Amino acid sequence: MKPLLAAAALALSGLTALPATADVTFEDVKISAGQTLFEAECRRCHATNPTDASYGPPLEDVVGRAAGTHADYDYSDALAASGIVWTPAALRAWMEDNDGFMPGTKMRHVGIEDRTVQDFILAYLQSLTAGTAAQ
């Protein structure tokens, strides 16, 4: 099993910790798996809460945000001048091949090609809105 899928399986097997009722939606499952994957692949450089120290820009509210616009973060020229918005499609392309998608970025290459893994991480990123990120 690939490490990422193993991580996802681990997250899914952790579901017994959630209430075993119809209250648990498929979305909850995706967010929970996405959090595990994010911790493994992204967290060492990205805080989810803007008050935490972070090497990369905080990713709270990143879905739908204009790229390179987090106040107080020193972006590369490539990202600051990109003019793109972080739609789900842009975030998929970024996770798959960030330096190919945006030559000149200072984010080290992460090559997440598995669409399911991308889906889970996206679901988690979408859950990171102001006020929930610290949870």
Q: Which residues bind ligand HEC (CB under 6 A)?
A: 41-42, 44-46, 55-57, 59, 62, 67-68, 70, 75-76, 78-79, 86, 91, 94-95, 105-108, 110, 112, 121
34, burial (CB in 10 Å: exposed 0-12, middle 13-18, buried 19+): buried
Minimum distance between the CB of residue 57 and ligand HEC, rounded to whole angstroms?
A: 4
Under 8 Å between Cβ of 38 and 124: yes
- The residues pairing with 15 across neighbouring beta strands, listed in sequence order, are none
- State how far the Cα of 15 lies from the Cα of 32, in Å rounded to an integer: 8
Q: Which is nearer to ligand HEC, 28 or 97 (CB)?
A: 97
Q: Which is nearer to ligand HEC, 29 or 43 (CB)?
A: 43
Q: Which is nearer to ligand HEC, 31 or 94 (CB)?
A: 94
